[in-house]
Structure 1
Amino acid sequence: MHNEPFILLNKQFLSYNGWNDFSTKIVTGFTTKNGGNSIDGYETFNLGLHVNDDPNKVSSNRLKLSSLLEFPTSRWACTEQTHENNIIKISSEHCGLGAFNYNESIKGTDGLYTNDSNVLLTLCFADCVPLYFFSPSHHYVGIAHAGWKGSVKDIAGEMVRKWNDEGIDSKDIYTLIGPSIGSCCYVVDDFVIDYVKGLDINEGLESPIYKAINHGEYRLDLKRLNEQLLHKAGIPYKNIRSTSYCTSCEEGLFFSHRRDKGNTGRMMSFIGLKEEDSYI
């Protein structure tokens, strides 16, 4: 893929190395569906504890990822995602919550950020948009889960404003849009598009964020929608990178809730800083 920011390092995950010039300790990536132990519709590297997979197999998969990343599960932050725009700042007291028991995960949260080292922020996906945030000059990392509901509730802008409130200028934030369903595969109705229209960001773009294909049916580009929301929140376009991967198209790499008609596993997005580091 031309200029694809994610690199497939092994069967289990793609890595983003675009921020390594700022920090040699940052860990940023997105898992695939391959190289794990799950079966029966969750083949094989399912990392979701909430999809009726055998919890022992999910735990085994999570331990495998932990080993590959050299990031212990006791330092993971895991949440109960609800397609809202609630964002919390993570500290050591949150670490380990939900790593092996979904009921113990951080409740009602779709965005996480921290300025602590040795904390891995994690979220699960099967078509929604993973958003990654990094401010090297302030030692902040963040991650957000943006399906259509989170997108129209502007979880992207909410993260930026949280950081603004902590003294970080939008121009000092770098962002990354990860693998998700593309407009090639994502068709929505007027109910969804009316929310998108309410955001008032589709005017004047060379190509629209959505395109009508039939009466009451539209192709929606969630990646570009979030790109525009990030830019509206003050992120320069040069600080926004986006993947070309579509989770629905790439059947050999990813689970897809829409393609698999709901009977599927979950990938995991993750970001963290392993220890205090010097920045360039």
Structure 2
Amino acid sequence: MEPFQLKEQPIPHFVIDSWQKLVPGLTVGFSTKKGGVSQEPYATMNLALHVNDNQEDVITNRKILADALGFSFDAWTSAEQIHGNHIEIISKNERGKGRLTREDAIQVTDGIVTSESDILLTSFYADCVPLFFLDPIKKVIGLAHAGWKGTQLKIAEKMVETFVTHYGSNRDDIRVAIGPSIGQCCYEVDARVIQPIQSTFSMITEEMIFDKQNGHYDLDLKKLNQQILIQAGILPNHIEISSYCTSCDHHLFFSHRKDHGKTGRMAAWIGLRKED
């Protein structure tokens, strides 16, 4: 069953309904490319500042999304992603970083985790894999950005370890959702990508890497991250995987590959609303 449910109002966006029902006050989901003010080739809901879109339009889009989620824009918190595996714990001191400028964002970071309420964690995508983390018992939440480099660097495993070591989470309690991203159907890579992947992972199967017999391969980053998470101790039935492909479902999503590099970015988010 598809874990990400499309909501059309007040703007088109996806939510993980099952998680939001599990934890009162939780908002978690993934944006579409619709509902904003950006112009082509970023039309219309580009949420990233690093793609040469008009900065004021991006900030307007971010405010539109925050308002749709019932969060103050002051809570919008993001990192400067570099396709690495560094993870930062977000406290009240970091609340709001990156919402207006890249320079103010949490630097050199692809994983963000918090147990604080009234912080809206956000990260940005146009084919890479968004990983959503929730410990409903300890009320810990997190996001990780996993392209092929972050996947090869096992950022998914590092996120699990952060939950366990920093917050005392039980692995059996942690839930993970693998969000909309480029599917194996559209992700053709060459030996430059496949060789480090194969050298890192012993559990690689032909199903995850389809050899096209021409020096190219179709790589399934979603299934690879699923296996990393299982090896890190996450229960298989606590891992949900979106069937959406950001390249195939182009009417909904920006795709770096399909759009030949000149395109906008969707946002993944997760946050706990402030208790009254």
User: What does residue 255 of structure 1 align with?
Assistant: 254
CA distance in 1, matches of 2:272, 2:199: 37
Rounded Cα–Cα distance in structure 2 between residues aligned with 1:120 and 1:15: 14
Extract structure 1 runs of 4+ deviating beyond 3 A: none
Say which SS state the counterpart of residue 131 (structure 2) adopts. strand
Q: When the two structures are superposed, what TM-score results if normalisation uses the length of structure 2? A: 0.96
Aligned with 1:42: secondary structure? coil
Counterpart residue number, 2:128: 128
Q: 1:40 maps to what in 2?
A: 40
1:140 Cα offset (Å): 0.3
Q: CA deviation at 1:276?
A: 4.7
CA distance in 2 between partners of 1:8 and 1:35 (Å): 13
Deviates more, 1:210-219 or 1:247-256: 210-219
Counterpart residue identity of residue 83, structure 1:
H
Q: CA deviation at 1:12?
A: 3.1
- Mapped partners of 1:201, 1:213: distance in 2: 21
**Bigger mean CA deviation after superposition, 188-197 or 244-253:** 188-197
CA contact (8 A) 1:184 1:219 kept: yes
1:187-226: CA deviations, max 9, x gaps?
A: 01112111221233435x6x62111013210000010010
Counterpart mapping for 1:217-232 below 5 A: 217-232=216-231
AA aligned opposite 1:190? A
Q: Report which stretch shifted further, 162-171 or 135-144.
A: 162-171
CA drift of 1:63 comes to: 0.8
Structure 1 regions of 5+ residues with no counterpart?
Answer: none
1:121-200 aligned within 5 A = 121-166=121-166, 167-200=168-201
**Alpha carbons 1:118, 1:275 under 8 Å: kept:** yes
List runs of 5+ in structure 2 lacking aligned partners. none
Q: Secondary structure at the match of 1:175?
A: strand
Letter in 2 for 1:237: P
Output the CA distance in 1 between the equivalents of 2:224 and 2:202: 8
Following superposition, the deviation at residue 18 of structure 1 comes to 1.4
Following superposition, the deviation at residue 76 of structure 1 comes to 1.7
1:110 maps to 110
**Partner Cα distance (2:12, 2:46) in 1:** 10
Does structure 2 retain, via aligned residues, the 8 Å contact 1:171–1:234?
yes
Write the distance in 2 (CA, Å) between the matches of 1:92 and 1:27.
Answer: 18
- Aligned counterpart, 1:91: 91
Q: Which residue of 1 aligns with 2:81?
A: 81
SS in 2 for 1:143: strand
Distance 1:85 1:194 in 2: 19
Equivalent position SS for 1:132? strand
The Cα offsets for residues 142-166 of structure 1, whole Å up to 9 and x where unpaired, read as 0000000000000000000111212
Superposition CA RMSD, Å: 1.3
Paired residues in the alignment total 273
Q: Given that residues 202 and 209 in structure 1 are in contact (C-alpha distance below 8 angstroms), is that contact kept between their aligned partners in structure 2?
A: no
With structure 1 as the length reference, what TM-score do the two structures score?
A: 0.94
1:72 is matched by which residue type in structure 2?
S
Distance 1:241 1:74 in 2: 30
